[in-house]
Amino acid sequence: MIGFPASDVTILLLNQFFFPDAVATSQLLTDVASGLVDEGHTVRAICGRGGYAGDNAGELPGVTIIRTWALPFGHGATARVLSYLSYLLGAVWHGLAGPRADVVLTLTTPPVLSLVGWLVTAVRGGRLYLWEMDVYPDIAVELGVLRAESWLTRGLGWALDGVRRRAAGVIVLGESMRERLLRHGVPAERLLVAENWADGAEIQPRAFPDRQVFEVLYSGNLGLAHDLETVCGALERLRGGMPREDGPAGHGLGGDSPVNGLRGDSPQGDSPRRRFRFTFAGGGPQRGALERFCGGNGFTKTGFTKNEAEGKTANPAAASPATDHNAATATDQGGCPTMVCPTSVEFRGYSARHELAASLAGCHVGLVTQKACTVGAVVPSKVYGLMAAGRPILYVGPAQGTPARLIRKFGCGWQVEPGDAAGLVQVLQRLAQDFGEVEAAGARGYQAFQEFYERKAGVGRIVGIVAGRDGAAEVVPERAG
């Protein structure tokens, strides 16, 4: 890596969403911007005026923010494309007309933003780094948005891979993403693994909630890459308190062996059956479908405001309580006739950054999901906030995914294969009777977080790459010895 002077590097950051938006890419880029300023660099960011998960207006100390005009972002295909295009036009204009930057760092919102970064550096000079939050066009193909053999997909792939091969560096979020881009023909020396992080000053372990109800939290975006079918299948099984089924169980705790007690003898004995409450805090394109599923199957739902329904930030404490906070009553749409259901569901809006710690503290386990086809194309960043909060990870996703690798390495949770709803139920029922194991897995995750995923360490990895810090080295915690 060619180094820059220790200070006074001018760096241009490109992403449609930036401070103070609550969406993950905005928060991560905000942390990096602040870290660059702290090291004495000149930082300029070009973002859109509209937000994804909240307001997108405000000043970040030391950072010059250009908020270019862009159409409002929506989850519908037409609204999203128009929003992307309007931002891209503004980013090109300000990138070419503004002060020259020594380094340009692009994220992947919009997906072709790296082309703008390439254009700016080709015309104005400077080094280009790509921070791949999602791999395009792969993710669009895997989710059925684009056809693999279409001219559009081939053209996008050719253009984006061309930029990747010419960039000074391509920052990837884990080994699975690195492996995917190697298959694209990106040179190994261009690929720099730097996993995401959470802010330990804002998120710290707190006491676990009361044990009368086993709390499961899904925090963040309900995107198309996330597996909700398995979760819905588990909810159906838990709704009526159905007995445990034989089948594959979750894996974790530092190895490939089933968790003790998940097969065979049950530790439940004469213990009262635990009730479960699933809380989905966030928004995204799949939230509406999940709400309809829960409403059609007799689960209690909390109310939510119009802003929350549109995915805007809401205080978790403001969510309306269920009529019976611990249970759902019977309905004529497949509920639990003449009995109380042992499972309820609650919906909330996104948590603002300063509210996230309280939201995460309200669960026993954090739910993270990923469709198998998306391995290496996306890397769920929810895991790092959970580790910071001392909460174990319940990952419904393939064994090759980065969350599964972290679970195996650090013993900080459990992994269930996509489609294995019965296995997910087994894990939940087992954990609901073994709070000691839940707390121990959360403690192991927090220990790993302190060593590898604290904000200072995570930001330092990115700053060291883009600012050419002497001695900066690639650190890959998920494969570290």
Q: Per-residue pLDDT tens for 219-237?
A: 998 999 999 999 999 999 9
Q: Per-residue pLDDT tens for 109-149?
A: 999 999 999 999 999 999 999 999 999 999 999 999 999 99
* Top-confidence range, 58-62, 84-88, 314-318, 471-475: 84-88
3 state DSSP class of 348: strand
The residue to which tokens 């298959």 are assigned: 183
Q: pLDDT-based confidence at 328, cuts 50/70/90?
A: very low
Closest to 372 measured CA to CA, from 416, 407, 406: 416
Closest to 278 measured CA to CA, from 213, 358, 371: 213
**Any idea what the Cα angle at residue 432 is, between residues 429 and 436, rounded to 5°?**
130
In this prediction, residue 64 carries a pLDDT of 97
Distances in whole angstroms, Cα of residue 14 to Cα of each of 95, 116, 118, 142, 144:
9, 9, 12, 26, 27
Q: pLDDT-based confidence at 7, cuts 50/70/90?
A: low
Please tell me which residue, 74 or 11, carries the higher pLDDT value: 11
In this prediction, residue 217 carries a pLDDT of 97
CA 352, 79, 292, 383 dihedral sign is negative
3 state DSSP class of 89: helix
Phi and psi at 12, nearest 5°, equal -110, 125
Q: pLDDT-based confidence at 56, cuts 50/70/90?
A: low
Q: Whats the size of the chain, residue-wise?
A: 481
In this prediction, residue 133 carries a pLDDT of 96
What distance in Å separates the CA atoms of residue 60 and residue 63, rounded to the nearest whole number? 6
In this prediction, residue 379 carries a pLDDT of 95
Q: pLDDT-based confidence at 268, cuts 50/70/90?
A: very low
pTM over 0.75: yes
- Would you identify the CATH topology of the domain 213-452? Rossmann fold (3.40.50)
Q: Are 425 and 245 in contact (CB under 8 A)?
A: yes
Q: Are 248 and 420 in contact (CB under 8 A)?
A: yes
What distance in Å separates the CA atoms of residue 255 and residue 408, rounded to the nearest whole number? 5
Phi-psi region of 298 (alpha: psi -120 to 50; beta: other; left: phi over 0): left
Helix (H) / strand (E) containing 46: strand 42-48
Q: Per-residue pLDDT tens for 269-287?
A: 334 456 899 999 998 899 9
Q: Are 191 and 170 in contact (CB under 8 A)?
A: yes
What distance in Å separates the CA atoms of residue 480 and residue 310, rounded to the nearest whole number? 41
Phi and psi at 350, nearest 5°, equal -60, 145
Percent of the chain's residues with pLDDT above 70:
78
For the domain with range 10-197+454-479, which CATH number is right: 3.90.480.20, 3.30.460.20, 3.30.230.10, 3.40.50.2000? 3.40.50.2000
What distance in Å separates the CA atoms of residue 354 and residue 375, rounded to the nearest whole number? 30
What average pLDDT does range 460-469 have in this prediction?
90
Q: pLDDT-based confidence at 462, cuts 50/70/90?
A: very high
Query: What are the strands, taking DSSP E only, across 201-255?
Result: 213-219, 251-252
Q: Are 209 and 362 in contact (CB under 8 A)?
A: yes
As given in the structure block, the two tokens for residue 367 are 């739910």
What distance in Å separates the CA atoms of residue 450 and residue 81, rounded to the nearest whole number? 39
DSSP state of 371: -
The residue to which tokens 């984006």 are assigned: 160
Q: Which residue intervals of the chain bear CATH 3.40.50.2000?
A: 10-197+454-479, 213-452
In this prediction, residue 253 carries a pLDDT of 38
The letter for the amino acid at 29 is L
Q: Are 310 and 379 in contact (CB under 8 A)?
A: no
